[in-house]
Amino acid sequence: MGGRGGFGLVILLIAVVNIEAQKKPSITIHSKCLGNVMRLDIGPLGGHLLEVSVVFNNSAIRLTPVLASQCGFSAKIDQLGNIVIFASLQNCFAQNVADNSFTTRLNLRLHGNQVAEDELYQVVETCRYTAWASREIVCDRNYMEVSVKRTTGDDYALPDRPISGIKMFGASRQAAEKKPIDAEFKIKTITFFTPEEKIMPLTEAHRRGYGISNTPTRLVLRSPLTSPETYIQNVAGVPMSVLRTSIVFEKKTLATQIHAGAACPILDGSVFFTPDSISWFLPRNIEPLTSSGQFELLEVHMGVDGQRLNVAEMAARHYSLSVNNVYILTKIPVGAVGGHFKSHVQDGRYLTTYTIEPMLELRWTENAAHKDTRYKVFLPITTPLLSQSPQVTDNTVPEERVFKVQLGPFCSDVALMNITISSEVLSVADCSARGLKVLEHVSPKGCSKVFTLEIPFKDRGVLQKEEMEITVYSLQLTFGLLVLPEYAPFSHTASLEARLENKVPPSVSGGCDYQYFYVLVKYGTHGFNFQTLVGRRLLTSLLAKEYGLMDNGTHFSLSVPFSAIDVMVEAVEASSIRSRLDVSLRTPATNKNIKEFSMACNFFPRLTECFSNGTITALAIKLESVPSLKPSQLTLIDPTCVPSHSNDHYAYFVFSGNSCGTTRKFLPNMMLYENEISLPDAMKTVSKTDEPEYELKVACYFDINTNHTVAFNNRPRRSEPYAENAIGELQVEIKLALDDSYSTFHRVEADPIAKYLQQPLYFEVELIKSRNPEVSLELVDCWATLADDRTSLPKRDLIINGCVNPRDPYQVIFHPVLPDARVQYPSNFKRFEIPMFAFAKDQENLSLQVFVHCDVVICDARNPVGSACNVQCSNQDEGMKGQKRSVSDGHRIEQVSSGPILMS
């Protein structure tokens, strides 16, 4: 618990870490007069050394512990580096003016180190005090002091030989207080009652550390608390340290005496603790200081650090003060304002104590003497060691993928030095450099310091393992801590674990062929909620239908024509246009993008057509770089030649070679007709934006040396004429993929392939040995049989005329083909999925051997008009669409069959 401490003002060391040595401390000094004592607050010292000297007769006298207790000085230090010095107004070095004004001068020297210079502060404080009681007693940390009014009774003649103290000083204090002692009376001897008499000359008393002095009207006696001339007396069950003296004054042949004494409570026996409160018992009637039974208590005041508190202040701090017939009882909550906590380490455990210095100030009178006594006691109280086990609070949110740990609470004198993460010791600076977030949070209320630490799951100190569809992240931590200023080390360990479902976010990919952008969106882990934006438009059910959305529960696909309004045209070249489609996935709640995807492809539409009768057609497409362009405002060189048709994305012109400002130029064997599409000059001058000017060159070449015979047929053409690139044998192959990624296939030699009856089958038909993007492979009919013979029965129709069999309860699902490392030209491939198999006539057969056969046709992608490659199927079921083929003359049917598939 601790008793009254020594003074220790020779050199005071307050150790505080993280103070830059080269900086001078920024300290504050405040002094205050508190009745018969003065208080001086200094701080914070910030790790520097403080030396205190008192200035007397122009000399600086360094205060030592012995001198402090003899002359009326005490001090205390808190854990923040603040120091409080108390000085009795009647200290040995005070300049006393008529016992009304007291001036004390102190020198405070702050010692730095090799870098910082010493700082000297001079403090001069004058306190006025006139409300002297007949007797004033002060019990401080290291001394007790009694000051009595210097009066005496009848003088008596000194004998020739010394006589016993009992006969010589038998008169009582009450009988000796009639008139002031003459200034010629000098102190000669002092008798201590221990309780036996012990006579000591004044010089010997001074040598033993007692302070005895005369002031203009009073006698002051000061004794160290540990003086051998004091004794312990039990007063109403409270042990008290008692000093009783009789002091002899002599003048020539006359002598007189004054009785002076004090009694101060001892901590052990007067203070009692519970985990939540401190109770201090002080006897109401301090019997060693009273001489009659006619005792009257006039005043009781409570305070802290020498400062009185009023009723409202005590209530705010939850202090209580009560007086009964025996005791004056003070109760203080542990942790209340006015005290402070201190950290300790014992056997590796973290403990705390709470220290506070309450003050009680009493005034009483004894009716027989008609004199009053003011009694003031400072009692430093420190609780026994309190258990303060720090706690680890795990605030981790697994979805944030960061461990968030809080450790505490600690008192303010605890510092975090390092953290061990999976056997790797890191200082706080190392943690910051590694990207770990370490913070210290301090509250002014008691022991409330906490440390927080944030460690990403990706840090190398975090261990992880997979359990089914869960990833378990674990972390072992050891916090290395110090208690200052003792530098007492201790540690605290923590084991953390976070479990995170392996969520795969949705993704988007895609590719192009000669006519379409193909978009594939995978849903990712079940539970992700997202929206799809195509271009700048939200993918609604109406837009999904327009773009032929197909969905199988794990992903969906879109087919967006290159001419769609959501497609941005980046550039127009001589024979192609470069278009881009942007697709983004975002969360509905925050509109934050999860995934952004863009693909740009070259397409080869007919922008200009030249007819033998001199007619020219031209298509002007709006570019992304000219967003304000209105195609309807475009004209040919002749501004009166406006588009035959236009919308927000393109303008279509039809004109003849001898109109609209078309120019003609003769070349060797050729005739060149040229025109230009742009905005009229008047509109160009109005435009003040930074957009580039829109200009499109139109050119037609005619052969002037060759005659052509043209046959006329009144039957409309079913398709545009075209020429084949080459003549050769094309081979078609059908393969079975392991899953819908179409990245891995069953080996052909693995015969038969075993599948469960309810397991989906993923087929891919490929036109092998073809490297021509203008060749398109199309499915005509596909069916399944139980025999190798493609004409055998029973037969299950899967695809009819390029469309799914509408009567099949388990309809085929078509999958888009996108370019990747294996697929260079998507038009050379077709992919479809058979969800499940069931033959009506073989329900009882538990094992079926199945063969899949297809008839395919090879089309020219450049000749889509009216061909077998461009007839759309009716939409029998939302989300599934095929392409109907009407195979006409001139298209060769290719046949392909799969190996046996064993369904069980």
Q: For 735-758, how does the pLDDT look when each residue is reduced to its tens digit (9 = 90+)? A: 998 888 888 888 766 567 877 666
Q: Report the DSSP pairing between strands 516-522 and 531-534.
A: unpaired
pLDDT of the residue at 719: 47
| Lowest pLDDT segment from 351-365, 495-509, 610-624, 703-717 | 703-717
> What mean pLDDT comes out for the span 498-514?
87
Percent of the chain with pLDDT strictly greater than 90: 46
More confident residue, 783 or 845: 783
Using only the alpha carbons of the chain, give its radius of gyration: 53
- H-type helices in 541-679, by residue range? 541-546
Contact (CB, 8 A) for 70 and 145: no
In the predicted structure, residue 590 carries a pLDDT above the cut 50? yes
| Lowest pLDDT segment from 165-179, 266-280, 762-776, 859-873 | 165-179
Contact (CB, 8 A) for 244 and 223: no
> What mean pLDDT comes out for the span 609-613?
80
For residue 608, give the nearest of 677, 517, 708, 707 by alpha carbon. Answer: 677
Residue 455's pLDDT band, with cuts at 50, 70 and 90, is: very high
pLDDT of the residue at 693: 84
Residue 252's pLDDT band, with cuts at 50, 70 and 90, is: confident
- Three-state SS at 174: helix
For 218-242, how does the pLDDT look when each residue is reduced to its tens digit (9 = 90+)?
Answer: 999 999 998 999 999 999 999 999 9
- Three-state SS at 402: strand
pLDDT of the residue at 9: 45
In the predicted structure, residue 159 carries a pLDDT above the cut 60? no
DSSP bridge pairs for 600: 580
Q: How many beta carbons lie within 10 A of that of residue 661, not counting itself? A: 15
CA distance 564 to 622: 12
- Please state the pTM of the whole predicted model: 0.57
Beta strands in 379-469, from DSSP E residues, in sequence order: 381-382, 386-387, 391-394, 402-410, 414-421, 424-427, 437-441, 449-456, 463-467
In the predicted structure, residue 2 carries a pLDDT above the cut 50? no
- State the Cα torsion 341-342-347-349 to the nearest 10°: 40
Beta strands in 129-181, from DSSP E residues, in sequence order: 135-139, 143-149, 151-152, 156-157, 179-180
pLDDT of the residue at 23: 45
pLDDT of the residue at 867: 46
pLDDT of the residue at 874: 60
CA distance 318 to 276: 12
More confident residue, 637 or 715: 637
Host H or E run for residue 678:
strand 670-678
More confident residue, 878 or 514: 514
In the predicted structure, residue 12 carries a pLDDT above the cut 60? no
> 270: Cβ–Cβ under 8 A, 6 or more apart, which residues?
238, 239, 280, 281, 282, 379
Q: Which residue has the tokens 């369904």?
A: 903
CA of 8: how far to CAs of 51, 65, 81, 223, 772, in Å? 10, 5, 15, 17, 99
Phi, psi of 59 (to 5 degrees): -120, 145
pLDDT of the residue at 687: 55
Q: How many beta carbons lie within 10 A of that of residue 690, not counting itself? A: 5
Contact (CB, 8 A) for 506 and 525: no
In the predicted structure, residue 881 carries a pLDDT above the cut 60? no
Task: Output the average pLDDT for the chain.
Answer: 83
On the question of a cis peptide bond just before residue 456, with omega within 30 degrees of 0, the verdict is no
Residues in the chain: 904
Contact (CB, 8 A) for 357 and 305: yes
Host H or E run for residue 314:
helix 311-317
pLDDT of the residue at 660: 93
CA distance 538 to 523: 17
pLDDT of the residue at 662: 92
Contact (CB, 8 A) for 363 and 375: yes
More confident residue, 534 or 821: 534
Residue 679's pLDDT band, with cuts at 50, 70 and 90, is: confident
Contact (CB, 8 A) for 740 and 762: yes
Percent of the chain with pLDDT strictly greater than 70: 83
- Three-state SS at 378: strand
Q: Which residue has the tokens 């002080």?
A: 282
Query: How many CA atoms does the CB half-sphere of 671 hold within 13 Å?
Result: 13
Q: Residue 615 has what DSSP assignment?
A: E
In the predicted structure, residue 432 carries a pLDDT above the cut 80? yes
CA of 253: how far to CAs of 247, 259, 319, 502, in Å? 17, 21, 56, 106
> What mean pLDDT comes out for the span 352-378?
90
pLDDT of the residue at 450: 95
Residue 461's pLDDT band, with cuts at 50, 70 and 90, is: very high
More confident residue, 129 or 513: 129
pLDDT of the residue at 689: 65
| Lowest pLDDT segment from 15-29, 191-205, 422-436, 888-902 | 15-29
In the predicted structure, residue 650 carries a pLDDT above the cut 80? yes
For 520-563, how does the pLDDT look when each residue is reduced to its tens digit (9 = 90+)?
Answer: 999 887 777 899 999 989 999 999 999 999 998 889 999 999 88
Contact (CB, 8 A) for 362 and 123: no
CA distance 756 to 762: 13
Contact (CB, 8 A) for 673 and 702: yes
pLDDT of the residue at 72: 96
Residue 626's pLDDT band, with cuts at 50, 70 and 90, is: confident
| Lowest pLDDT segment from 119-128, 352-361, 492-501, 614-623 | 614-623
pLDDT of the residue at 623: 86
| Lowest pLDDT segment from 341-350, 355-364, 832-841 | 832-841
Instruction: Using the Cα atoms of residue 648, residue 653, residue 659 and residue 664 in order, give the sign of their dihedral.
Output: positive
> What mean pLDDT comes out for the span 685-708?
74
| Lowest pLDDT segment from 495-509, 819-833, 861-875 | 861-875
Q: Report the DSSP pairing between strands 507-512 and 186-193.
A: unpaired
Contact (CB, 8 A) for 763 and 832: yes
pLDDT of the residue at 238: 96
Host H or E run for residue 167:
helix 165-168
Residue 16's pLDDT band, with cuts at 50, 70 and 90, is: very low
